[in-house]
Amino acid sequence: MEPLALYTHWPFCLAKCPYCDFNSHVRERIDQARFARTLRAELAWEAARLGRRRLNSIFFGGGTPSLMEPGTVAALIEDARRLFDPVPDIEITLEANPTSVEVSRLAALRHAGVNRVSLGVQSLDPAALAMLGRQHSAAQALAALEAARALFPRISFDLIYARPGQAAAAWRAELRQALGLVADHLSLYQLTIEPGTVFEGLHRRGEIALPDPDLAAALYEATGEEAVRFGLLGYEVSNYARPGAESRHNLAYWRYGDYAGIGPGAHGRITVNSALLATRRHRAPEPWAERVERVGHGSTHEAPVPPADRAREMLLMGMRLSEGIDEARFAARTGVVLDEALDPDVLRQAIGEGYVTRGDGRLTVTQAGRLRLDPLIAALVV
Amino acid sequence: MTDTPIDHIRNFSIIAHIDHGKSTLADRLIQATGALTDREMTNQVLDNMELERERGITIKAQTVRLAYRARNGEMYELNLMDTPGHVDFAYEVSRSLAACEGSLLVVDASQGVEAQTLANVYHAIEAGHEIVPVLNKIDLPAAEPERVKQQIEDVIGLDTSDAVEISAKTGLNIEGVLEALVHRLPPPQGDADAPLKALLVDSWYDQYLGVVILVRVKDGRLRRGQKIRMMSTGAVHVVEQVGVFSPKMIATDDLSPGEIGYITAAIKTVADCNVGDTITDDRTPAAEALPGFKPSVPVVWCGLYPVDADDFEKLRESLGKLRLNDASFHYEPETSAALGFGFRCGFLGLLHLEIIQERLSREFALELIATAPSVVYRLYRTNGETQELHNPADMPDGSVIDHIEEPWIRATILVPDDYLGAVLTLCNERRGEQADLTYVGNRAMAVYRLPLNEVVFDFYDRLKSVSRGYASFDYQMDGYTESDLVRISILVNGDPVDALSFIAHRSAAESRGRAICARLKDLIPRQLFKIAIQAAIGGRVVARETIGALSKDVTAKCYGGDISRKRKLLEKQKEGKKRMRQFGKVDIPQSAFLAALKMDG
């Protein structure tokens, strides 16, 4: 039986960031007790059908899960440990922002059982933080990292680069400073204009411009170079870690493992009665909670994923990883032989061009291929 | 209805450059003779037709009968023939003119003579017309009647001492025009007792009446119930209705010599009615047809393909519907390796091509790819066979070609002196041969012989741009001449894209090949793999461009919640791709394709 990764979504933020299209909502007052109750209820409901599965990781994402009462986090972790079979070194990650309120809770969260924290630093440049609409300063970010380092065995933080007007030299300097802050893991995202965000409007009106593809490629390559100098390897398109410090939870997505998602808008891929099920929860927090209160869960979509879709999904995710895709696992997990899922002409050309390699039972995307992954997937995947 | 004696009939057309006031004058004439009431005038007549023509919908002749009591107290029947004004329809215009004895030459007194006016005046002179110069917009402060009269005398050689000065807009001196028609134009000639000879001027499809034929009776009488014969085809029909346009259709019993009117005869398509044909009586036919009949022959061809392959049948139907009312364009199915199923279509000229394309997209909501327009070449094989060639893809191997001839035109260009140099350079670049260069005041009139295939490639656009819009242009066909022509193939990643191949003179072939490769390099976005674009003549590559692989395109964030969304996006992309045209695994976007074909010299 596939081991399990458990995702819990906290849908609230203090403010909506102008670049973010995640399922996050701003409320004047949050009924903490109600969401604690309903999250726990949904976890129990999900566990009932999953059985006492081996549990590899728990991830609290959002939204801003560091705004959850630490007691809720503790209760959910306790429930999960009881309902499933946690591995001894289970990874329990929580996303946090470097605001003072949240930092003040870090100790309690550690006490609740969180052993890895992922901080939304986004930039170490004050002007960039303002541009990105963040609620914290660069100094607060550094203080938060300091506090986290004292409390948690594993730390990751996020940065956004390829920002409007950002030159390669400036980014290298900022990144070096970040890499010096001895986290074992970094998520380094190039700024993307997402539909429905404030940035999309600005972009459409020409008020912000992203770097052209040549500069974006140079920035990406610079990122990999700098990270490696500090011992961090790019193991996924935007994720860099010391060997062994990769996010185990996120690897479950990219390796197309089983993951259960609870909370508003959470998605899941879970094996139930040997069928792979896609699950999705109601996106809006209050209707989701109401549903849970009424019927025990907030699921609005539950459907088996047919083999062809499984193959596409596993390729979409697995090609993001530098380790590539294990062909035997691909066949077992999707029911489709890898060669049947790929266009042979494109594969030949892609190998010739040095975008992918094949050998030792794996399909691997090279750095050159990863730079062009979207069109590569679009052409290669049938 | 035939109570007007033949010597009281005047048939005339109006020759004018666009905007020089033809439709306004026509309206005034209709109004002054009471053909329509004032209330009907507001939403009627030639202005509407003009608008339709401007939108490219009507390319048909129109006519209206006017009853005018002249100053001498006698009633006259004046038939105004309104003709399509563009060079592409030169033959149609010539037939309309053949139905009249005279023309009004309307010139804007503030502008002067334009190339289009000139061409039509020459047609009218060839038709033996008496021409009455009319200076319009005489009320404008910028009007220079004396200068314009001098220009008409210099350029056309018409005596302008009796030119009628009017303002169609204010109605000034409209009577002067009517009097000139009565007294200066000759009456038609004809023998009512001779066998019937009627000129088929034009025809169009009416959904209630079937085909309506516009005729001018030369000899004999055309009656309801008469069995008529088309002399070019021998086809026989029974006349159902005879009538005149007032401009509303009014049925009459017959039409007698000199008269212009219409007939209907249960004819299903205009393809059965050849413009310029002679209609005669089936029982007592005329011994010979009227002179000047020519079957309509397309001079410009291109391939039309639906963007969405599923629209092929719809395209076939739409072409069929258009042909119902326009027999001058031709179409036949053809297949392209690059573009799939489509039609090879022949047109009277570039404007005609644009009109049909525009109607297909506007009236039938069809998205089309048009291949580069080609003229009709005459190919002489070494084995003595000759062949007409209008698709570069059909050009055989060089070894079997003895020689090729290409069609030439005689172009007349009027341009202000300041831009003459640029215009002459353009004509020379297009292999033009100067035939004449004269001055008309501060404007030059250049007459050039040009190969037609140099004109179908964006010549109008270039002419407009080098003259800042001041040059006017007209042309007529001027025979075939042997020429050193080659086919240039365009290859994408080594695969020839047949729809992009074209024929050009050897001297220009390499530079054209380089130009189109460079153009495609700009038009085709960077893709996953690098793309080679080549131009080849025979087996020899003469130009090459490489489009590098795109440098970066990867989604930054992708986690558990994104899997379904990303997969659906991928599936949508795949679906969209199926409908795109791929050439050697390269997506050539629609816009790139169209722009590449609009080749610049």
The count of residues in chain A is 382
Looking at residues B303-323, what average pLDDT do you find?
Answer: 89
In Å, how far are B531, B532, B535 from B540, measured between CA atoms? 19, 15, 8
Displacement of CA B494 from its chain's centroid (Å) = 38
Task: Give the Cα separation of B406 and B453 in Å (integer).
Answer: 8
pLDDT in tens, B278-296: 999 999 999 999 998 887 7
- Which residue of chain B is at minimal alpha-carbon distance from A158? B557
Task: Give the Cα separation of A278 and B318 in Å (integer).
Answer: 47
With b for 16 or more beta-carbon neighbours within 10 A and e for fewer, the B330-369 pattern comes to: bbeebebebbebbbbbbbbbbbbbebbbebbeeebebebb
Q: Is residue B49 over pLDDT 50?
A: no
Between positions 236 and 255 of A, the ones with CB within 8 A of B are 237-238, 250, 252-253
Q: Does A360 touch chain B (CB under 8 A)?
A: no
pLDDT in tens, B79-95: 999 876 666 777 888 88
| Cβ–Cβ gap B567/A313 under 8 Å | yes
Displacement of CA B462 from its chain's centroid (Å) = 19
pLDDT at B598: 60
| Cβ–Cβ gap B574/A265 under 8 Å | no
- The CATH T-level fold of domain A308-380 is Arc Repressor Mutant, subunit A (1.10.10)
- Which residue of chain A is at minimal alpha-carbon distance from B528? A375
Confidence category of residue A42, pLDDT binned at 50, 70, 90: very high
* Higher-confidence position of B211 and A238: A238
Q: Is residue A302 over pLDDT 80?
A: yes
Q: Which ranges constitute the DSSP H helices of A15-136?
A: 32-50, 70-83, 100-103, 106-112, 126-131
Q: Does A377 touch chain B (CB under 8 A)?
A: yes
Are the C-beta atoms of residues A278 and B568 closer than 8 Å to each other?
Answer: no
Looking at residues B158-170, what average pLDDT do you find?
Answer: 93
| Cβ–Cβ gap B553/A375 under 8 Å | yes
Strands B401-416 and B377-381: antiparallel
Looking at residues B177-182, what average pLDDT do you find?
Answer: 96
Q: What is the DSSP string of B225-287?
A: T-EEEETTT--EEE--EEEEESSSEEEESEE-TT-EEEEE-S---GGGS-TT-EEEESSS--S
| Cβ–Cβ gap A269/B550 under 8 Å | no
Chain B partners of A345 at a C-beta cutoff of 8 Å? Answer: 585
Query: In percent, how much of chain A has pLDDT > 90?
Result: 94
Angle at A251 between CA A247 and CA A257, to 5 degrees: 140
pLDDT in tens, B238-280: 999 999 988 888 999 999 999 999 999 998 888 888 889 999 9
Task: Give the Cα separation of A284 and A38 in Å (integer).
Answer: 14
| Cβ–Cβ gap B563/A317 under 8 Å | yes
Q: Which of A267, A376, A381 sits opposite B563 (nearest CB)?
A: A267
Best to test chain B binding among A210, A301, A343, A372 (most B CBs inside 10 Å):
A372
| d(CA B519, nearest CA chain A) in Å | 21
Query: Token pair for residue B245?
Result: 């346009």
Q: Is residue B59 over pLDDT 70?
A: no
- What residue segments make up the domains of chain A, in order of their start? 4-253, 308-380
With b for 16 or more beta-carbon neighbours within 10 A and e for fewer, the B57-94 pattern comes to: ebbbbbbbbbebebeeeeebbbbbbbbbbbbbbbbbbb
Q: Is residue B396 over pLDDT 80?
A: yes
Angle at A136 between CA A133 and CA A141, to 5 degrees: 125
Strand partners, A220: none
pLDDT in tens, B500-545: 888 999 998 998 899 889 988 988 889 999 999 999 998 899 999 9
Contacts of B327 (CB under 8 A, 6+ apart): B269, B270, B271, B273, B274, B296
- Whole-structure pTM value: 0.69
pLDDT in tens, B182-202: 999 999 999 999 999 999 998
Chain A partners of B554 at a C-beta cutoff of 8 Å? Answer: 237, 370-374
| d(CA B323, nearest CA chain A) in Å | 42
Chain A partners of B550 at a C-beta cutoff of 8 Å? Answer: 213, 372, 375
Confidence category of residue B468, pLDDT binned at 50, 70, 90: confident
Identify residue B513 by its one-letter amino acid code.
Answer: G
- Which residue of chain B is at minimal alpha-carbon distance from A264? B561
Chain A partners of B573 at a C-beta cutoff of 8 Å? Answer: 378
Q: What is the DSSP string of A88-111?
A: EEEEEEEEE--SHHHHTTHHHHHH
Best to test chain B binding among A58, A239, A377, A380 (most B CBs inside 10 Å):
A377
Looking at residues A330-345, what average pLDDT do you find?
Answer: 96
pLDDT at B591: 62
ipTM for the complex shown: 0.93
Chain B partners of A220 at a C-beta cutoff of 8 Å? Answer: 552
Chain B partners of A259 at a C-beta cutoff of 8 Å? Answer: 560
Chain B partners of A23 at a C-beta cutoff of 8 Å? Answer: 561
Q: Does domain A4-253 have CATH number 3.20.20.70?
A: yes
* Higher-confidence position of B580 and B242: B242
Chain B partners of A375 at a C-beta cutoff of 8 Å? Answer: 527-528, 550, 553
Task: Give the Cα separation of B294 and B132 in Å (integer).
Answer: 28
Task: Give the Cα separation of B177 and A93 in Å (integer).
Answer: 95
| Closest listed residue to residue A19, CA positions, set A143, A158, A217, A215 | A158
Chain B partners of A322 at a C-beta cutoff of 8 Å? Answer: none
Task: Give the Cα separation of A237 and A225 in Å (integer).
Answer: 14
Helix axes B115-126, B90-98, angle to 10 degrees: 50
Chain B partners of A213 at a C-beta cutoff of 8 Å? Answer: 526, 550-553
Between positions 151 and 180 of A, the ones with CB within 8 A of B are none
Task: Give the Cα separation of A240 and A222 in Å (integer).
Answer: 13
For the sheet containing A4-10, what is the strand order? A233-236, A239-241, A185-190, A154-161, A116-122, A85-96, A54-62, A4-10, A258-262, A267-272, A275-281, A299-304
**Residue A48: Cβ within 10 Å count:** 11
| Closest listed residue to residue B348, CA positions, set B311, B294, B310, B387 | B294
Burial tier of B199 (Cβ tally within 10 Å: 0-12, 13-18, 19+):
buried
| Closest listed residue to residue A327, CA positions, set A364, A354, A352, A365 | A364
Q: Is residue B57 over pLDDT 70?
A: no
| Closest listed residue to residue B29, CA positions, set B195, B244, B177, B219 | B177
Best to test chain B binding among A301, A315, A316, A381 (most B CBs inside 10 Å):
A316
Task: Give the Cα separation of B280 and B232 in Å (integer).
Answer: 11
Cα-only R_g, chain B: 28
Are the C-beta atoms of residues A175 and A123 closer than 8 Å to each other?
Answer: no
| B530 membership: H or E segment, kind and range | none
pLDDT in tens, A127-168: 999 999 999 999 999 999 999 999 999 999 999 999 999 999
Q: Is residue B377 over pLDDT 70?
A: yes
Q: Which of B526, B552, B555 sits opposite A220 (nearest CB)?
A: B552
| Cβ–Cβ gap A192/B555 under 8 Å | yes
Q: Which of B552, B557, B585 sits opposite A371 (nearest CB)?
A: B552
If phi over 0 gives left and psi between -120 and 50 gives alpha, with beta otherwise, what is residue A353? alpha
